[in-house]
Amino acid sequence: MDLVTAAEMQTLDRLTIETFGLPGRVLMENAGREAVRVFLTHFAKAARNGVGVAAGRGNNGGDGFVMARGLAQAGYPVRVYLLGTADRVSGDAAANLKLLAPLSVPVIEVPDEAAFSRHQRTMRDVAVWVDAILGTGLTTAVTGLFRNVIEFINQLQRPVFSVDIPSGLSADTGQFDGACIRAAVTVTFGYAKIGHAVFPGAEFTGRLEVVDIGIPPHIAERVRPRHFLLKAHDVGGTFSPRRADTHKGRTGHLLVVAGSPGQTGAAAMTAAAALRVGAGRVTLGVAQGLHPILQTLVLEAMTAPLPETGSGSLGRAARDAILELTPGKSCLAIGPGLGQDPETGELVAELVRRSPLPLVIDADGLNHLAGRLEIFKSLAVQTVLTPHPGEMARLTGTSLSAVQQDRIACARDLAVTLNVHVVLKGARTVIAHPDGSVYINPTGNPGMASAGMGDVLTGMIAGLIAQGMHSDTAARAAVYLHGAAADTLGRTLGPYGYLASEVAQTLPGEIARLLREA
């Protein structure tokens, strides 16, 4: 599903009006009428007890005026609370506001705090709210009257239907400053916005319905959105049934460099996950002292004992031995559970510089590369970085809060600057590519807040690349599949308490489902 920024949506509207010849008033009419249709599919019964339209003075308010007219004509009791005065409404919105008088739709002007106080009693009687206060063009904090009205509506705990976007929410980041409507359902026009798809915006949006308002396809081709919400059909086509004569020599051989004392499970889960997504063979390169442990943890993987440091971790002395393992392999995964030994950092940097194989780098592999990002600018191999927000903050030399404030921009900037694929993990994982395109993953649930989930994802991405999948496709497919497997466990076992290893075990069934649907 395409996602657009506020600026892209404004361009789509403008080009439709100026070059296609569809007037703005028609677009507003289409938006309002479609919004009424969606509203009644969800709230027809409750609306019989009274609908309140909270409207601003701009085009978002104009869409609300069209909705009020449509609901009144359908026989529903409706009142409009205009946050301002009618004489300050202009353009298409003003034209639609004037059409309410002949239908005897009450329009209550609420231009200031005093008026708001006077009308709170009737506002409390509203059964269902339509939020048409602030649209996608919002760029400042919500303060004053608008903030108070939004917080008042939220406190009523009545169902809220947002027009285009919950008022107060940034269409570009999914963040809000001051206050934001908490909607049960949001209808949006033409295209979903980025803010609908990422947290906290996804939570405040509620159920999202995207409706067509008449923007022609050739206009969308001119704008070319760069942001996308992953769907099952996007991923299902990347998997295909295997030929009957397939053998392990045709399904890839992954090399994993991972593990340190106390963190052998990370290496084991990475290997197991790669095998669960279909990699034919996996070789685990591990410190010599860990070799006996790893041999028993993952029976299906091969292990290669490597020279270790005094602390029992991998260090510079293991470099040549690891590079000698690369012939015949099709991907190299580095990082899960490697530990913080400074010598390990030197090893990681050397392996990244010299690897002849596509790379997937996670966890301690990323931590050791903080401050060494120049390494990536000269790489000739496809590379995927899979940081969680804390690792991203260390990599980019910024704060955790700065990363979380705009996850999309942070991931895209790193991907474009370093010419790598970035998987910024978390709720609604962001996958960014060197060309600037960004994908947002809708699968997964809070039960994934458990140790080892990232190790499983690393093994999945690397396992798909080992089978010949391009790094960008593998990153998207693995992230979607990872969350989908957890969603299945959330439905069958419970909302939390399932293990990362159980997510890996669920993967073959999820791949089978995608193949059936494809």
pLDDT in tens, 346-398: 999 999 999 999 999 999 999 999 999 999 988 999 999 999 999 999 999 99
Condensed to tens digits (0 to 9), the pLDDT of residues 467-485 reads 999 999 999 999 999 999 9
Share of the chain above pLDDT 90, in %: 97
| Band (325; pLDDT cuts 50, 70, 90) | very high
8 Å CB contact between 369 and 348: yes
| Band (517; pLDDT cuts 50, 70, 90) | confident
Q: Compute the distance between CA of residue 24 and CA of residue 13 in angstroms, rounded to an integer.
A: 8
Condensed to tens digits (0 to 9), the pLDDT of residues 437-478 reads 999 999 999 999 999 999 999 999 999 999 999 999 999 999
The domain 2-226 having CATH identifier 3.40.50.10260: the answer here is yes
Take residue 452 and report the two structure tokens written for it: 């080892």
8 Å CB contact between 148 and 156: no
Condensed to tens digits (0 to 9), the pLDDT of residues 49-66 reads 999 999 999 999 999 999
- Residue 198 CA to its chain's centroid (Å): 5
Q: Compute the distance between CA of residue 231 and CA of residue 107 in angstroms, rounded to an integer.
A: 42
- Domains 2-226 and 232-517 in one fold: no
Architecture of domain 232-517: 3-Layer(aba) Sandwich (3.40)
8 Å CB contact between 75 and 45: no
Domain ranges of the chain: 2-226, 232-517
First to last CA, the chain: 17
Q: Please name the residue that has the structure tokens 């507003």.
A: 28
SS3 132: strand
8 Å CB contact between 128 and 43: yes
pTM of the model: 0.94
Share of the chain above pLDDT 70, in %: 100
pLDDT at 340 over 90: yes
Q: Compute the distance between CA of residue 63 and CA of residue 54 in angstroms, rounded to an integer.
A: 11
The amino acid at residue 279 is: A
Take residue 122 and report the two structure tokens written for it: 């009737």
Q: Compute the distance between CA of residue 394 and CA of residue 411 in angstroms, rounded to an integer.
A: 13
